[in-house]
Amino acid sequence: MKPFAYLRPGSVAEAVRVSAERPESHFLGGGTNLVDLMKLGVESPGLLIDVSRLPLDLVTPTDDGGLRIGATVRNSDLAAHPVVRERYPALSQALLAGASGQLRNAATTGGNLLQRTRCPYFQDTSKPCNKRAPGTGCPAREGAHRDLAVLGHSPDCVATQPSDMAVALAALDATVHLHGPEGERAVSATEFHRLPGDNPDQDTVIRPGELITEVVLPPPAEGAFSLYRKARDRASYAFALASVAAVLTVRDGRVAHAALAFGGLAHRPWRARAAEDVLRGAPATEETFARAADAELAAAEPLRDNGFKVALARNLAVGALAELTARADRSG
Amino acid sequence: MSHAPQPLGEPVVRREGREKVTGTARYAAEHHPAGLLYGRIVPATVASGRITAIRTADALAVPGVHTVLTHENAPRIEEPDDPVLAVLQNTRVPHRGWPVALVVAESLEAARAGAEAVRVEYDSADHDTVLTWDHPGMYTPEKANGGYPAVRERGDAEAALAEAPVTVDATYTLGGLHNHPMEPHASSARWADGHLSVHDSSQGSTTVRDTLGQALGLGDDEVTVVSEHVGGGFGSKGTPRPQVVLAAMAARLTGQPVQVSVPRRYMPALVGHRAPTVQRVRLGADRDGTLRVVSHEIATHTSRIKEFVEQAAVPARIMYASPHSSTVHRVVPLDVPSPSWMRAPGEASGMYALESAMDELACALGIDPVELRLRNEPATEPDSGRPFSSRGLAGCLNEGARRFGWYERDPRPAARQEGRLLLGTGVASATYPVLLSPSAASAHVAPDGLYTVRVNATDIGTGARTVLAQIAAAALGTPQDNVTIEIGSSDLPFGSVAGGSSGTASWGTAVHKAATALVRRLAEGGTVPPEGVTVTADTEEEASQDSPYSRHAFGAHFAEVAVDSLTGEVRVRRMLGVFAAGRILNARTARSQFIGGMVMGLGMALTEGSTMDPVYGDFTERDLASYHVPACADVTDLQAHWIDEDDHHLNPMGSKGIGEIGIVGTAAAIGNAVRHATGARLRSLPLTPDKLLPYL
């Protein structure tokens, strides 16, 4: 690890100002990923701007019945928040499906969104990687890629976004609020992460100097149920081979509203718009759910060793939608 | 305080437990003498080739960096018996991750920064790291690990297979596995007045002392190696590792104490691994299940610098009666790190294949798999014809079946569903040989009636201190509180390595011998002089005797799994092992050993996957986030039971080893349960969702 300076700013404005002045700086949240990457030599910031103690640690209702989540709210606190558990169960479940208890106690909402891929080549500075060192190549295409992308990848990068939380936020139509040198803006959680294209070093649409200040959830759709399901190699402390966040409202046996997002399949949480189009207004049956999943996954381009992810994602989606339908049936 | 001697077998708590849980027990990297320097290994980034240049100027310019050792300036050492220790001696790179330099600095951070600044140029050669059954470089060695003959033939296996009414012919594939003890390998070395003192995280510091002495040209009295507390080893610390040689070299060159620890990510390349194996098992049987022939052939890899042959076909030589048998090991040298011992080398891999094949045979015959095993119990050891000193397999199978509720099982595959979960149960046998290595011990009594027993045993978390105190106290006829045990230093009477499940037997025999000799001496009468009375004993003679008996521990594993039909995720709902391992000397620590082995077997079955990247010649999973050892959530209802054996052909305690048998057969029991749950017979581990999904 190279020597670095450390600063704890007193306000968002100061954090943003210093960040803009010092391009070699990084914001530090819980540090559960950034510190690892510094130890590995993948990241070598000259300055860490510790934003974890900024007054962004509250979860508060919005005027329209949604929820405002401060960027420094810890993952474990957010997962346990009564409103999140009751009204946004997919989010609580996604958080609890991630990492380990110790990591969730440290990790923040903003930091979770900005964690980087666990692609083994990205994490190994002795090997090429277009994301870490643009222009050096992507050995994962031919190398070890069982865990990597099947959707939206490019010749330059087949990495996956590892966050569970981000998948739930995408399905829940959350917005990510940013504060930067040019002011404030909000980005849909679905659009916050980007596809790799020919510049995979950019994970997100965040601009230099911008700080995530909060994530805002709209009020849950009326009568909707939501859940998060994740498949992994061991029962805890493993990244998703594939995961799904699903939100579903069923009325009179038909899908009134559906939102679906996949994790573990792409460079960003994969909002399944094509599947949603099939679902909307269709009978809430397994046949519909399978057709919807297939419509979305038709775009998949699996690599040599990760074709299983397509079947896995399909099964997860159909299972999740069927479970939500059963719940809707039970509640009446 | 107890005043009566406690009988062997009591669940005595670990003597050093308090120090460990309060953090005061010091491990090898927790010794910080004044002037300590830190060494950081620079690993090779090519899989095969030669170093053409090492540029160290940038590293030396890092503040705090003291020196950089390379093959150009490192002290020359005598050629060690183990080629993995011949580091920084020449330009050759035999595999990726091989140490090509050591940066020594005043802080770990500076050493690390220095290591990143070392520039190495290579003339790299093509490499080959892919094991295949029919690799052109494959040959049949003379011996497999452990000194076993590579090939044993009995009768005519091929003819018997051709004639057998029912046959199984199955090939099983196991990738590499990594030991990954909690405490990474570390050494702190210091030279003072011509004497080298080392704290090393090792399973046997006498061996480390002898190895350092040979390599550095020092006598036994010029080297002391201490391994007081060791945070696990699983075989990877059973032989000295490069960090101890590097620390000693750097300490000699700098004149200051030097500590070298192996970073977690460097461990797969530097501390051995369980070699991958491709195993073909062919069984031929009569329709009543009587085996006519057992054939077990294995293909494995070794490195370019060392022949290590995983002895996976050896257990087939003792497990089941059959008039015809063929067991063959073949190996190919590749540009890979040197494989080595990992918990139950040979048995863990080989019994996965053999016990899976037995299940396949049971399915083919329509015979219960427990019953099939019972029908093939041998009267004497099939390979040597020697009588068993004791053989508890049938007892373990019967007891396990009863406790597990095995006989209520519906044998049909894929016939039990609970929501989206498919349920199944499986069984497999376990075995591990009884080994004994020479050790020495001294027993001392002071005039106040307190005893001190010294032996260079190593407690790698097993509870060695505690059980040796029990053995000594029983032999001395005194409460354990009256016995002080000193272990973990090469200055003590020599002890064998904590490996091969032989520590307690080997050290315990020496302790028992010294203690009983002391009792005899005291029985001769007279008062104890102020300096006390000391008696020493060694077991060279006992250890060199070839037993007329075939001596093995046995066991049986029963597992119930739930397979998620949507995701292919397999979870073990409950697992039960029954073991016959002689006399159990400490019920508490023994249970830990059995259960620990079973958890490791669960990892082998379901979660622990290692990829050898053919492009870079590198293990892909090199940290504990990606190399998936079981998490607590994977380990639910786990039970270990045992059947005490009264075997007089073992050692004075009547014990067999217990450290490894828990991992033997576990993966087969789980794999067999997965087949019962799903109907899919998978022959490659670990059983992760990508492998299961195509069958669901």
Domains of chain B are 17-25+437-538 (3.30.365.10), 31-126+179-270 (3.30.365.10), 143-177+273-434+548-695 (3.30.365.10)
The whole-angstrom distance between B691's CA and the closest CA on chain A is 8
Q: B522: burial class by Cβ within 10 Å (0-12, 13-18, 19+)?
A: middle
By DSSP bridging, strand B421-433 and strand B417-418 are antiparallel
Owner of token pair 């849950």:
A220
Mean pLDDT of all residues in B584-589? 97
Instruction: Indicate the residue type of B344.
Output: A
Q: How far apart are CA B510 and CA B437, in angstroms?
A: 10
Mean pLDDT of all residues in B443-449? 97
The whole-angstrom distance between A316's CA and the closest CA on chain B is 7
Q: What is the pLDDT of residue A320?
A: 98
Q: What is the pLDDT of residue B4?
A: 58
Q: How far apart are CA A119 and CA A138, in angstroms?
A: 11
CB contact under 8 A, A144 and B620: yes
- The pLDDT confidence band at residue B633, using thresholds 50, 70 and 90, is very high
What are the CA-CA distances from residue A25 to residues A45, A63, A184, B10, B671 (Å)? 5, 35, 20, 60, 50
Answer yes or no: is the ipTM higher than 0.85: yes
Instruction: Indicate the residue type of B306.
Output: K
CB contact under 8 A, B611 and A118: no
From the list B183, B399, B645, B660, the catalytic residue is: B660
- Is the pLDDT score of A181 beyond 70? yes
Q: How far apart are CA B439 and CA B456, in angstroms?
A: 8
- The pLDDT confidence band at residue B585, using thresholds 50, 70 and 90, is very high
CB contact under 8 A, A234 and B628: yes
A320 to chain B: closest CA residue: B566
Q: Where are the alpha helices (DSSP H) in B52-171?
A: 57-60, 108-117, 157-163
CB contact under 8 A, B607 and A234: yes
| B342 Cβ contact list (under 8 Å, min separation 6) | B177, B178, B179, B234, B235, B236, B272, B273, B274, B348
Mean pLDDT of all residues in B612-637? 96
| Averaged pLDDT of chain B | 97
Q: A174: burial class by Cβ within 10 Å (0-12, 13-18, 19+)?
A: buried
Q: How far apart are CA B605 and CA B174, in angstroms?
A: 10
Mean pLDDT of all residues in B314-341? 98
CB contact under 8 A, A308 and B566: no
Q: What is the pLDDT of residue A3?
A: 84
Report pLDDT digits (tens) over B252-273.
999 999 999 999 999 999 999 9
The whole-angstrom distance between A191's CA and the closest CA on chain B is 28
Owner of token pair 């054996």:
B645
- Is the pLDDT score of A2 beyond 80? no
Report pLDDT digits (tens) over B349-404.
999 999 999 999 999 999 999 999 999 999 999 999 999 999 999 999 999 999 99
Q: What is the dihedral of CA A185, A130, B57, B95, to 10 degrees?
A: 140
CB contact under 8 A, A142 and B615: yes
The whole-angstrom distance between B405's CA and the closest CA on chain A is 26
Q: 3-state DSSP call for residue A89? A: helix
A312 to chain B: closest CA residue: B567
Q: How far apart are CA B562 and CA B549, in angstroms?
A: 42
Q: Which of A144, A233, A319 sits opposite B611 (nearest CB)?
A: A144
Within A20-171, strands assigned E span 25-28, 47-50, 59-61, 67-70
Using H for helix, E for strand and C for coil, what is the string for B437-462? Answer: CCCEEEEEECCCCCEEEECCCCCCCC
By DSSP bridging, strand A175-180 and strand B421-433 are unpaired
**Domains parsed from chain A with CATH numbers:** 225-331 (3.30.390.50)
CB contact under 8 A, B567 and A139: no
The whole-angstrom distance between B173's CA and the closest CA on chain A is 17
Residues in chain A whose Cβ is within 8 Å of chain B: 1-3, 41, 100, 118, 120, 126-127, 139, 142-144, 146, 231-238, 241, 305-306, 308, 311-312, 315-316, 318-319
Mean pLDDT of all residues in A204-217? 97
Owner of token pair 């003291």:
B66
pTM assigned to the model: 0.97
Determine which of B120, B124, B566 to mutate to test the interface with A (most A C-beta atoms within 10 Å): B566
Owner of token pair 């699983």:
B234
Q: Which of A41, A143, A311 sits opposite B613 (nearest CB)?
A: A143
Answer for the pair B329, B150: CB distance below 8 angstroms, yes or no: yes
Owner of token pair 């220790």:
B85
The whole-angstrom distance between A45's CA and the closest CA on chain B is 14
CB contact under 8 A, A118 and B568: no
Phi and psi based region of residue A110 (left: phi greater than 0; alpha: psi -120 to 50; beta: remaining): alpha
Report pLDDT digits (tens) over B511-531.
999 999 999 999 998 899 999
B573 to chain A: closest CA residue: A235
Query: What residues are paired with B190 via a beta bridge?
Result: B197
- Is the pLDDT score of A332 beyond 90? no
Phi and psi, residue B312, nearest 5°? -70, -20
The whole-angstrom distance between A3's CA and the closest CA on chain B is 9
CB contact under 8 A, A1 and B621: no
The whole-angstrom distance between A8's CA and the closest CA on chain B is 23
B542 is catalytic: no
CB contact under 8 A, B607 and A233: yes
Residues in chain B whose Cβ is within 8 Å of chain A: 43, 45, 109, 112-113, 116, 420, 564, 566-569, 571, 606-607, 609, 611, 613-616, 620-621, 625-626, 628, 630-634, 686, 688-690, 693-694
Q: What is the pLDDT of residue B286?
A: 98
CB contact under 8 A, B689 and A238: no
CB contact under 8 A, A232 and B569: yes
Q: What is the pLDDT of residue A329?
A: 87
Percent of chain B with pLDDT over 90: 98
Q: What is the pLDDT of residue B519?
A: 97
Q: What is the pLDDT of residue B525?
A: 86
Per CB-CB distance under 8 Å, the chain A contacts of B420 are: 319
Report pLDDT digits (tens) over B667-695.
999 999 999 999 999 999 999 999 999 99
CB contact under 8 A, B628 and A120: no
Report pLDDT digits (tens) over B459-488.
999 999 999 999 999 999 999 999 999 999
| B385 Cβ contact list (under 8 Å, min separation 6) | none
Q: B443: burial class by Cβ within 10 Å (0-12, 13-18, 19+)?
A: buried
Q: Which of B613, B616, B628 sits opposite A233 (nearest CB)?
A: B628
Q: Which of B420, B607, B615 sits opposite A139 (nearest CB)?
A: B615
Residue A270: CB atoms within 10 Å: 32
Size of interface A-B (CB pairs under 8 A): 84
Q: What is the gyration radius of the CA atoms in chain A, in angstroms?
A: 20
Q: What is the pLDDT of residue B1?
A: 39
- Is the pLDDT score of B65 beyond 50? yes
Per CB-CB distance under 8 Å, the chain B contacts of A126 are: 43, 45
Q: Which of A2, A305, A306 sits opposite B113 (nearest CB)?
A: A2
Per CB-CB distance under 8 Å, the chain A contacts of B632 are: 236
Q: Which of A127, A142, A231 sits opposite B567 (nearest CB)?
A: A231
Q: Which of B16, B28, B1, B23 is nearest to B469 (CA)?
A: B16
Per CB-CB distance under 8 Å, the chain A contacts of B689 are: 231-233, 241, 308, 312
Per CB-CB distance under 8 Å, the chain A contacts of B116 are: 41
Q: 3-state DSSP call for residue A26? A: strand
The whole-angstrom distance between B130's CA and the closest CA on chain A is 13
Q: Tokens at residue B300, please?
A: 């494995």
CB contact under 8 A, A312 and B625: no
Answer for the pair A58, A73: CB distance below 8 angstroms, yes or no: yes
CB contact under 8 A, B630 and A234: yes
Q: How far apart are CA B300 and CA B281, in angstroms?
A: 15
CB contact under 8 A, B615 and A306: no
Q: What is the pLDDT of residue B5?
A: 61
- Is the pLDDT score of B2 beyond 50? no
Report pLDDT digits (tens) over B164-189.
999 999 999 999 999 999 999 999 99
